[in-house]
Amino acid sequence: MNFARCLRPNALFCRNLRNEGAFHSSRTSCIIFRDAEYVKEKKQVFDLENGAIESRRYLLRSDGFGFSVQHAILRQQQSATLRYQNHVVAVMVTQGEGEMRVISPHNKKKAASQEHPSYKLSSGSFFALNAAETVEIEAMTKELHLVSVLNPPLVGPEQRNENGVFTMIDEDGVERESYDHNIVRRLFEPPESLRSGTIMKDDPLF
């Protein structure tokens, strides 16, 4: 089967294996393809930081991959302060130049004895935040494009609240500034396709 021909723009394409000798009739092979037009039509584009950032959200929690993917565009001579208290995030710069300054490191003892680091950003630059760091990002060119992956995944409309925290929304739709261990397992769920593991995935019966 030629997947390239089967995929329609902006579609979730699922190939059901019921008629292909699969033991479990519910098993499917799915590919998600989305473009900027689709994201706008689905109202998954948000202006953040008083218009300094346009955030396009391509993959959400409801897609069942265990993470979300965003494309953020920071405009020239604009800066954005981001505090990831509830998420781990990995970011790749795909276009433009800018600077990232760490203004509130998680390790406060270290911060007291050292200057806050800053990093030049350009196409191919990568950074990841694994705790409660607060960073300020400034665009030095007309636009600075950042593609990021978040865990727990975004539901869709999350943004910074009045305390500067990037909030999260739990499975009940409640927006939270923080959370405890009681709901961690519900927030950090494995991808739908891997919930039963992979040990039998290549077995002919499956």
Say if 135 falls within a structural domain. yes
pTM over the 0.85 mark: no
206 residues of the chain, pLDDT tens digit each: 444 334 544 555 554 433 333 334 344 557 899 999 999 999 999 998 888 899 999 999 999 899 999 999 999 988 888 888 889 999 999 999 999 999 875 555 555 556 778 999 999 999 999 867 789 999 999 999 999 999 999 998 988 887 778 888 887 888 888 888 888 877 877 887 787 787 766 665 55
Say if 200 falls within a structural domain. no
Q: Determine the Cα–Cα distance for residues 99 and 22; give it in Å rounded to an integer.
A: 51
Say if 161 falls within a structural domain. yes
What total number of domains does the chain contain?
2
Pick from 73, 74, 5, 91: nearest CA to 36: 73
Domain that holds residue 113: 45-188
Whether 16 and 73 map to the same domain: the answer is no
Whether 106 and 161 map to the same domain: the answer is yes
Whether 81 and 4 map to the same domain: the answer is no
The CATH number assigned to the domain holding 176 equals: 2.60.120.10
Whether 7 and 83 map to the same domain: the answer is no
